[in-house]
Amino acid sequence: MTVAPADLPDALDSALRDYLAHLRVERGLSGNTVQAYRRDLTRYAAFLDGLGRSGLAQVTEPDVEAYLDAVREGDDGGRALSPASTARALAALRGWHRFAQAEGHAPDDPTVEVTAPTQTRRLPHALSVDAVARLLAAASAVEGAPGLRDRALLELLYSTGGRISEVVGLDVDDVGTEAVVRLFGKGGKERVVPVGSYARDAVDAYLVRARPVLATAGSAHGRSTPALFLNSRGDRLSRQSAWAVLQRAADRAGLAEHVSPHTLRHSFATHLLAGGADVRVVQELLGHASVTTTQIYTMVTPEALREVYAAAHPRALS
């Protein structure tokens, strides 16, 4: 059963419990969705408590705006939210306040005039070529079969620009003998992507020296799978486990920035374009339905603008 924290004022605690029960029972939302609402609204309720508001009837529009400002910067002690996450949080607040007003717990809805923050278009985060090399080398630090698997997994992610779901979904037969791999994207759409020599060597080493070892665990229990990447039980490696492989490698490599599987996908595209690849070729490799999606990688960073300006303008340097 979903519950609210016990240290909130009674009126806030009761209002939050009632709303979560409404979401779960009357609106039939899933447990995961209710938990997401619970996290957002618990943070908000704690902020209101800090302002001295003991119930929703006391909340004003400036209180709501102050909360949104606080979470955008993490000033309330929680994680700073992106504009998209802040907009989602505001939607959760609106639902709670509307429910409270409809149920007679508050005279009005203070979120009516509050606007969501502008969602600016940001450049995807990409690692430098050196950082990618350090990351891939760090994956090999694990002893035995897991280390060979981890290196092959990350090399393949970076070499193909594949989504994590596409790469862990590969079967052995999807890895061609002609330096290509078949990836199955959204909607089951298939595309053939070249595989670089480093990734080919890593996958070959994994197939010869590591996968048979991992597959033994599955065969001992009467299981076998065509999956390319296996876990220690001989089953297909999950997306969550692949994410953990990447996180451990990033920690060992000493990378300060946040690294996710999509970071390698962004790095793949950015490095190709920086090397002179045509944007429509990169679109095909990434499996984007529209070139518009791919063109975000062609956006020039302020740092790149300064470097070009300093190198090209005759009076840029004193």
Q: What pLDDT, in 10s, does the model give residues 234-260?
A: 999 988 788 888 888 998 999 977 787
Looking up residue 269, the CATH number of its domain turns out to be 1.10.443.10
Residues 33 and 162 in one domain: no
Q: Within a domain: residue 311?
A: no
Q: Within a domain: residue 109?
A: no
First to last CA, the chain: 68
Q: What is the pTM of this model?
A: 0.60
Give the number of other CB atoms < 10 A from CB of residue 63: 16
Looking up residue 80, the CATH number of its domain turns out to be 1.10.150
Residues 166 and 280 in one domain: yes
- pLDDT over threshold 50, residue 224: yes
Q: Would you give the DSSP letter of residue 227?
A: B
pLDDT band at 108; cut points 50, 70, 90: very high
Residues 153 and 96 in one domain: no
Q: Which of 190, 175, 189, 184 is nearest to 226 (CA)?
A: 175
- pLDDT over threshold 80, residue 18: yes
Q: Within a domain: residue 155?
A: yes
Q: Mean of the per-residue pLDDT values for the chain? A: 84
Residues 82 and 168 in one domain: no
Q: Within a domain: residue 82?
A: yes
Residues 300 and 161 in one domain: yes
Residues 90 and 147 in one domain: no
What pLDDT does 1 receive?
A: 33
Q: Count the domains in the chain.
A: 2
Q: Within a domain: residue 91?
A: yes
Residues 241 and 176 in one domain: yes
Q: Show the domain range for 30.
A: 10-102
The residues that are catalytic are: 163, 186, 262, 265, 288, 297
Residues 171 and 73 in one domain: no
Strand locations in the chain (E): 180-184, 190-194
Q: Within a domain: residue 21?
A: yes
Q: Which of 15, 23, 11 is nearest to 1 (CA)?
A: 23
**pLDDT tens-digit readout, 152-182:** 999 999 999 998 889 999 999 998 777 889 8
List the Cα angle 135/136/138 in 5-degree steps: 65
